Amino acid sequence: MSFPWAKEYKPSHPFMQWMDEKLPIPRLVYNAVGGGYEVPRNLNYFWNFGFLAGLCLILQIVTGVVMAMHYAANTAVAFDTVEMTMRDVNWGWLMRYAHANGASAFFVVIYIHIFRGFFYGSYKAPREMVWLLGVVIFLLMMATAFMGYVLPWGQMSFWGAKVITGLFSAIPLVGEPLQQWLLGGFAPDNAALNRFFSLHFLLPFVILGVVILHIWALHIPGSSNPTGVEVKSESDTVPFYPYYVAKDGWAIGVFAILFCAMVFFFPNYLGHPDNYIPANPMSTPAHIVPEWYFWPFYAILRAFTQDFLFIPAKLMGVMAMFGAILVWFFLPWLDKSPVRSGAYRPLYRKFFFFGLLPAMAVLFYCGGAPAQEPFVMLSQLAGLYYFAHFLIIIPIVSAIEKPDPLPFSITEAVLGADEEAKLAPSPSATVA
């Protein structure tokens, strides 16, 4: 699981030696995030976001378990128990604001983490499985976040639940029975609220499980790095502890400052005032929008306004919305370029910065805007580019592009010269 020069775990205390024989958890931790895990020496700050994502997950689980101690999943009292948590429970306001903004923080971190992967080709062999598991985590996060937003049973909670489960009714034949099965009724009600609570509690632990698989899969080839050149020798790496533990600690500090600024000074900035109105099944709010982290995909959903051949517009929108994420599963095979990092891919880099990022920005903006022109047309254009980027542009670019020359090794990229390169210029020095 690691490079031959990685230090072995050698417990000195008799108790730790005894433990290592019976249940070698300290060894596992040492090899996973301790001195035994050798990491490329040239990671930039974008590599801090995986660690921060793990931190967000723990933050959400801790604040969430606390919130659940004061919450009742019943339509008659759910809204009131959340308000009571805010007003009467000791520090309840802090727990709720930390949990609600924690969800947003988690998505900020995860979007940066994903786009880091896009730019540096982290999805490419030998790390395809890391990427696939990451997409699974993202899908689970979206389901968890959606169900969590329903729990306060405000107007946005109710109508969000209705609209999102309404997506399933677009599926031919089984759609409506499926929607009723998901909700346990004809519209969101007690049955739906209870099951959403149950699943909202369960899924974070499923995410935790998949995160462990994600890290496990990562540790087999080892971490990628900004050059995309694989590790060749000992001079290319430093041990995770203390080097990256210290760097991640610094990242925690920056994250905590920004997060606390949100929680203490703008706790409702990312929320919707309508969700402080109790759910009313008789009246839809004038402007329904999901939480900001769903906006790009919501924009794609709404971009379809015309039936296409025999497929109704509604079904097209739903398929495109799910397809926008599912296409990520195929990315390791759509991008055939042997060069991983965008830093050495001039053409890919242009499409990333002047195509994908602006298209995402437009989709983000339009997803939160009302369903009117010009936002519908902008969503259509940006959505079209989004799919073209993954399905057409990336395969073509990876076939025709002439990449810049790669450094011999990470050490050469960092120091300008690698002693090993002079001694053994053949790539056979590579160690798996």
User: Considering the complex, what minimum distance in angstroms separates the CB of residue 157 from another protein?
Assistant: 14
Q: Distance between CA atoms of 43 and 227, rounded to whole angstroms?
A: 9
Angle formed by the axes of helices 375-388 and 357-368, nearest 10°: 150
Taking the least distance from each CB to another protein, the nearer of 116 and 302 is 302
For another protein, give the closer residue by CB, 41 or 302: 302
Query: Shortest gap between Cβ of 356 and another protein (angstroms)?
Result: 26
Q: Which is nearer to another protein, 43 or 369 (CB)?
A: 369
Annotated catalytic residue within 122, 223, 233, 341: 223
Catalytic residue among 38, 230, 236, 291: 291
Task: Give the integer Cα–Cα distance in Å for 140 and 118.
Answer: 20
Cβ contacts of 105 within 8 Å, gap of 6 or more = 56, 59, 255, 258, 259, 262
Q: Where on the chain is the footprint of another protein (CB under 8 A)?
A: 159, 162-163, 165-167, 169, 180-182, 184-187, 189, 191, 195, 281-284, 286-288, 302, 304-305, 307, 312-314, 317, 371-372
Catalytic residue among 7, 70, 219, 314: 219
Burial of 95-114, coded b for 16+ CB within 10 Å and e otherwise, reads bbbbbbbbbbbbbbbbbbbb
| In the complex, least distance from residue 160 CB atom to another protein, rounded to whole angstroms | 10
Active-site residue, 88 included: no
* Least distance between another protein and beta carbon 303 (Å): 10
Q: How far is the CB of 306 from another protein (least distance, A)?
A: 9
Active-site residue flag, 420: no
Amino acid of residue 199: L
Q: Which is catalytic among the residues 38, 230, 248, 418?
A: 248
Q: How far is CA 148 from CA 158, 194, 274, 356, in A?
A: 12, 11, 16, 30
Pair 38, 8: CB distance under 8 Å: no
Is position 291 annotated as part of the catalytic site? Answer: yes
Closer residue to another protein (CB): 84 or 206: 206
Closest CA to 141 of 217, 239, 61: 61
Q: Is 248 tagged catalytic? A: yes
For another protein, the closer of residues 288 and 406 by Cβ is 288
Catalytic residue among 247, 274, 314, 401: 247
**Which residue is associated with the tokens 């946005």?**
156
Residue 223 known to be catalytic: yes
Q: Which residues on adjacent β-strands are paired with residue 40?
A: 237
Question: How many Cβ atoms are within 10 Å of 376's Cβ, its own excluded?
Answer: 17
Report the catalytic residues.
Answer: 219, 223, 247-248, 291
